[in-house]
Structure 1
Amino acid sequence: MTENPETGTPGAERLSTRHAAERLGVKPETVYAYVSRGLLRRHRSANGRGSTFDAAEVDALALSRRSGRRPAPAAGVASPLTTGITLIEDDRCYYRGVDSSALAARHDYEEVAQWLWTGRLTPGVRFTAPPGQIAAARAGVAALPPSGTAEDRLHAATVAASAGDPLRSDLSPGTVHATARALVATLVEAQPELGPPPPDGAPLAARLWPRLTPRPPSAAGLRALDAALVLLLDHDMAVSTLAARVAATARAHPYAVALAGLGALDGPLHGAAAAPAHRMLRETSERDEAGDGAAAVVGTRLREGARVPGIGHLLYRRRDPRAETLFGLLEAVPEAAGALDASRRIVTAAGRHRPAFGNVDLALAVLSVGCGMQPEAGQVVFAVARTSGWVAHALEEYTEPAMRLRPSGQYRGPRPPRPVP
């Protein structure tokens, strides 16, 4: 047993991020990439300002890298799933090896989603659904009580679309592609209309816009929304994606895969995280009129023991590349200027005593606040975008042995035999 060099407490030898990176011969950012892949475990320092790593785990990982062997997961960490879809590394996000921000700058959402599924780019592809499927989904949404949420509408639309598709259990790739195109289009068309519809043949972002806000779209606003859809298409093994893959390993059809993903998405720490950020931006703007603004809003949340929504990320250390791209596009949206300024002041207030950066939830909130959308708009954008990502993972999982994602539980209850109660 040695003394922890970073915290001064007794225990196994611990290494700071910098020392771990030196032993591994990598950048500090790569150390955290190893954490996200389950190859290292990290612990917060006692002062809360950094992370420490078990020296033995670091040395074992270094040895495996030098020998060319595939690294084994750290003890107590689930083995990572192998995927060829998304890589998050060095504060960048890549789809099949291509920077997601570069894709968002060059192609619209439907083109990128189709490419992610097939590996082929189809310029100008449009996702459409049979009229009967859209009608069934709208009827399912209309049957919800007034208290129904955006998540409820997404669930209802998916169930109705599934019920009307007799070929839903055909898992051949071509059929899955067609099913996914129709499902994504149905999720958009089933949302209540708030503004005038776009012309026929419009891209998905233009069809989604009037479902999110009554304001007419600007070219810059549509560009930002379309980019948000691309940037949110996938994000490695997020909890909703893991849920979707678990459904796919049991050979669930694409609608059921989407429902599994939607169920996990409906948590305040995942797909619903943009709504608290939306409300925080609105509150900041209102308090600005009283002269206390962002610092007061951030201070209130910290005083209540709550996290500041839209700040930081588990997988990124210094920047969220999706947020940076979206913030850049929002600078060209005049109506978002006030919300964008408020978001910067929130990041400054949150980072007064430690580094901070805005994540994609905060960028979505700037889009929704600036363009007159409801707080739930970010969740709708997230769910529509990520549905295509779930399908990409389902297609990958359908080629793996069935039921491979069935772990064994480690029983911790009383040992049998026990009397019948």
Structure 2
Amino acid sequence: MRDQEPDAVRREQRLSTKEAAELLGVKPETVYAYVSRGQLSSERVPGGRGSTFDAGEVEALARRNRRETGGNSGTGTDLAVRTRITLIDKDRYYFRGVDATELAARHSYEEIAEWLWTGHLHPGVTFDAPKASVSVARRAVDALPEHTGATDRLRVAVIAAATADPLRFDLSEEAVLGTARVLIPTVVAALPPVRRAHRGEGPLAHRLWARLSGRDPDEVSLRALDTALGLLVDHDLAASTLAVRVAASARAHAYAAVSAGLGVIEGPLHGAASGLAHRMLLDVLDQGDAAPVVAEELRTGRRIPGLGHRLYPGEDPRARALFRLLEDIPQAAPALAAARDVAATAARHTPLHANVDLALAVLTTSCAMPATAGETIFAMARTAGWIAHALEEYRERPLRMRPSGHYVGAKPPQPLPE
């Protein structure tokens, strides 16, 4: 009886084709493709037509596939990337397992950035930029035409700061963290001030305010700006963050990775969305009613900015947190009422909830900021998240972010074109 135990155990450790396919996350025919390529071995079922597969081999192949694709199932449908940074779950989101809205309510943007980067909180931390770095970035930004867009200024500042850093190609964690702590305040300092600039000290939100509004800030408004930065630090694999990880996968330095993110964020479906909501709120305030403004948006075939988010069935938790703060700012009352009017008017047709772009638009309109201010806030906030993702990607296998194309063109060989 004892002599038969190894065979019995061996049979128990073998998987059917269906079981192997489920473990690998592929179709059954793909399992046989693995066999034909020598990646799996199979045995015929005695007296049957099917095959069985060694469980250990299948598990090893599944692990190898996950390493090579960053968690992609191998079906070619969605790219999944393992991350310890952000989790979005129903109507909440978390930074390293901690409720992000609670973090933003209790900690500064810089403290949240350090939490994302290191997993440790550093109370009272602030980021300071060396004069040489600021000088180079500011000269580059000042040389741009007056009509230059907000994100273009940020991108130029990042590139200029990179040229002043001879150690930018050092991708060790310590070096990248040093870059991050200098890059963020450098970019803010390089932006042209709207009012007498705050000295290059203290919380980043105080310095950024002077680049966005000519109004003297009160404590509640500064707190709202700082909270907005904290809420927007990261949001899983948004389009710009994916671009950053692709750049980091190719071992681009941190400045180049951030520049890749800035190249994507300018789109109207991403970082620039708050600017559209800002202009819409101004129209509502001008007309005194959301109905004609919403009607015009729909008549021209545009979606109503600031409403709905594919990751949240209910209200965007970032919008909820920011609206709560804005209620304490007296000058924000008209814009808040306009935003609620827009949401209520749109809800007659489709029950869409406010997203963070609408909340950001209320902040920028009520604080005498331009329509592009939301884009700048979004980009500056997200820079910290991009650095966190770049740090993660630098620990992965290089060039793993390389999906295969599915060719659907003319079947070769084709004759040379005339």
What band does the TM-score fall into relative to the shorter chain? 0.7 to 0.9
Shift of 1:322: 0.3
- Tell me what 2:211 maps to: 211
Q: Deviations over 1:339-374 (max 9, x none)?
A: 111001100001113212110000010000000000
- Tell me what 1:300 maps to: 296
SS in 1 for 2:272: helix
Amino acid at match of 1:97: G
SS in 2 for 1:271: coil
Aligned mates of 2:155, 2:79 — CA distance in 1: 31
Aligned mates of 2:200, 2:210 — CA distance in 1: 14
Aligned mates of 2:256, 2:234 — CA distance in 1: 18
- Tell me what 2:153 maps to: 153
- Tell me what 1:94 maps to: 94
Shift of 1:195: 1.3
Q: Is the 8 A contact 1:101 1:322 kept in 2?
A: yes
- Tell me what 1:415 maps to: 411
- Tell me what 2:280 maps to: 280
Change (3 A) 1:306 1:364: same
- Tell me what 2:381 maps to: 385
Aligned mates of 1:199, 1:331 — CA distance in 2: 29
Change (3 A) 1:72 1:181: closer
Shift of 1:79: 3.3
Of the three residues 378, 381, 406, the one matched with 2:402 is 406
Q: Is the 8 A contact 2:189 2:200 kept in 1?
A: no
Q: Is the 8 A contact 2:285 2:338 kept in 1?
A: yes
Q: Is the 8 A contact 2:72 2:78 kept in 1?
A: no
Q: Is the 8 A contact 1:348 1:356 kept in 2?
A: no
- Tell me what 1:323 maps to: 319
Shift of 1:415: 1.7
- Tell me what 1:58 maps to: none
Q: Deviations over 1:86-113 (max 9, x none)?
A: 0000110100111110001110000110
Q: Deviations over 1:320-353 (max 9, x none)?
A: 0000000000001111111111001100001113
Q: Is the 8 A contact 1:278 1:375 kept in 2?
A: yes
Q: Deviations over 1:104-151 (max 9, x none)?
A: 111000011011101111111111111011011111111111221101
Aligned mates of 1:416, 1:138 — CA distance in 2: 52
Change (3 A) 1:403 1:200: closer
Change (3 A) 1:76 1:295: farther
Q: In the alignment, does 2:355 pair up with 1:359?
A: yes
Q: Deviations over 1:10-44 (max 9, x none)?
A: xxxxxxxxxxxxxxxxxxxxxxxxxxxx99xxxxx
Runs of 4+ aligned structure 1 residues displaced above 4 Å come to 69-76
Q: In the alignment, does 2:343 pair up with 1:347?
A: yes
Q: Is the 8 A contact 1:233 1:386 kept in 2?
A: yes
What pairs up with 1:71-220 in 2 under 5 angstroms? Answer: 73=73, 77-199=77-199, 201-220=201-220
Change (3 A) 1:295 1:73: farther
Shift of 1:82: 0.8
Aligned mates of 2:199, 2:257 — CA distance in 1: 31
Shift of 1:74: 9.5
- Tell me what 1:247 maps to: 247
SS in 2 for 1:343: helix
Aligned mates of 1:142, 1:420 — CA distance in 2: 50
Q: Is the 8 A contact 1:274 1:361 kept in 2?
A: yes
Aligned mates of 1:80, 1:401 — CA distance in 2: 15
Q: Is the 8 A contact 2:275 2:372 kept in 1?
A: yes
SS in 1 for 2:147: coil
Aligned mates of 1:247, 1:213 — CA distance in 2: 33
> Which moved further from structure 2: 250-259 or 352-361?
352-361
Aligned mates of 1:259, 1:207 — CA distance in 2: 22
Shift of 1:227: 0.4
Q: Deviations over 1:384-419 (max 9, x none)?
A: 000010000000001100000111111111122222
Aligned mates of 1:154, 1:300 — CA distance in 2: 32
Pairs aligned (count): 351
Change (3 A) 1:390 1:339: same
SS in 2 for 1:354: coil
Amino acid at match of 2:367: C
Aligned mates of 2:368, 2:83 — CA distance in 1: 38
Unaligned runs of 5+ in 2: 1-24, 27-62
Aligned mates of 2:104, 2:197 — CA distance in 1: 24
Aligned mates of 1:184, 1:217 — CA distance in 2: 21
Q: Is the 8 A contact 2:198 2:207 kept in 1?
A: yes
Unaligned runs of 5+ in 1: 1-37, 40-68
